[in-house]
Amino acid sequence: MNPNRSIPFLLLFLVASFWSCAPSDEKKPEYVLRFGHLANNQHGWHLASLKFAEEVKKRSNGRIEVKVYPNEQLGKEMDVLTGLLVGSADIMITGESLQSWSLPKAILCATPFAIRDSDHLKKVAGGPLGKEIEQHILDGAGFRPIAWFERGARNLTSNRIIRHPDDLQGMILRVPPVSLYVDTWSALGAKPTPMAFSEVFTALQQSTIHGQENPFALIKDAGLYEVQKYCMLTSHVKSWAYVVMSGKKYDSLPKDLQKVIDESAEIMQEYEHELFLVQEKKDYDFLVEKGMEFIEVDNEAFQTAAKEAVLQSFDAEQTDLLNRILQVK
């Protein structure tokens, strides 16, 4: 074999070896944050989470990577909250379920008939009372709220028409694992059954439960219109959810990266609210097109019955905070 003919092959081998060993332009992140939530890939929460991940990567110059896990991929809500404490998750979206962590003030972000409208909600969640609740969550459980999302009003769905609390007698109703919701719906006459959201469709399909209550977005995204004919416009809860981060993980970050998290979270919150305002109307129209019938109810009767249950469930601290929320103009 002519040795001169082997030279080009040798050069080609050396060049290929050089490029295979050359460092990549893509920096390996110093920190990887796992962000879990229960909504699907089309939901505004997921889109906002992706926006957050994008902003964090850009503002940190790749030092932080946020991996987003929708559809309860990291586990059910209570499992992921535990994950924030033990390190198997870093960020999640949650709300009134925080009450289960001995955080009594957290239930005020989703108390029946506490919030009048979106303007009232913004003044509460984004004002001094909201900051008080956030500090309570951080001090009490180590979860750091970094943003809040307005949620659509919760409405009751079932396969029978409900216009008055008296019509709820005997109805097995799925509720989140929140004691106030159990107490309130019990007082209204239903048989509330706490259940993970991911189990609701099958339970309705199999008639294990008769109804559930959620905002339009989750009714649509979970396909509940396929197994529920009527949506009662109870609007019994106008609430907000928190994006919470493990306080331990946040504190472990350098100050400059904490600032990145804070700034990105603010952008995420604004972005999600824009999506929410547009999507709420679209979700309603979608459900109408799918054949769901919307039923007006006796809101005063629901509100009166719910108020009694709330006051009976609340301690003095919660009642004081509720009264201050109601006084916000």
pLDDT tens digit string along 297-326?
999 999 999 998 899 989 999 999 999 999
The answer on pLDDT for 275 being more than 50 is: yes
Average pLDDT, the chain: 91
User: CA-CA distances (angstroms) from residue 14 to 3, 20, 88, 141, 164?
Assistant: 17, 10, 43, 57, 81
Query: What pLDDT does residue 227 have?
Result: 98
Q: Given the structure tokens 């957290």, which residue do they identify?
A: 106
The answer on pLDDT for 223 being more than 60 is: yes
Query: What pLDDT does residue 178 have?
Result: 80
Give per-residue pLDDT as tens, 53-84: 999 999 999 999 999 999 999 999 999 999 99
Count the alpha carbons within 13 Å of 186 in the hemisphere toward its beta carbon.
Answer: 12
Q: Smallest Cα–Cα separation from 71: which of 43, 33, 100? A: 43
Question: Whole-prediction pTM value?
Answer: 0.80
| Residue % of the chain over a pLDDT of 70 | 92
Domain boundaries, the chain: 31-152+240-280, 154-238+290-327
Give per-residue pLDDT as tens, 12-27: 444 444 444 444 456 7
Tell me if the domain spanning 31-152+240-280 has CATH number 3.40.190.170.
yes
The reply to whether 154-238+290-327 shares the fold of 31-152+240-280 is yes
User: Hey, what CATH topology would domain 154-238+290-327 get?
Assistant: D-Maltodextrin-Binding Protein; domain 2 (3.40.190)
Give per-residue pLDDT as tens, 105-162: 998 999 999 999 899 999 999 999 999 999 999 999 999 999 999 999 999 999 999 9
Query: What pLDDT does residue 25 have?
Result: 55
Q: Please tell me what DSSP assigns to residue 165.
A: G
Distance, in Å, from the CA atom of 16 to the CA atom of 31, rounded to the nearest integer, reads 31
Confidence of residue 102 (pLDDT cuts 50, 70, 90): confident
Is the torsion defined by CA of 194, 195, 201, 202 positive or negative?
Answer: negative
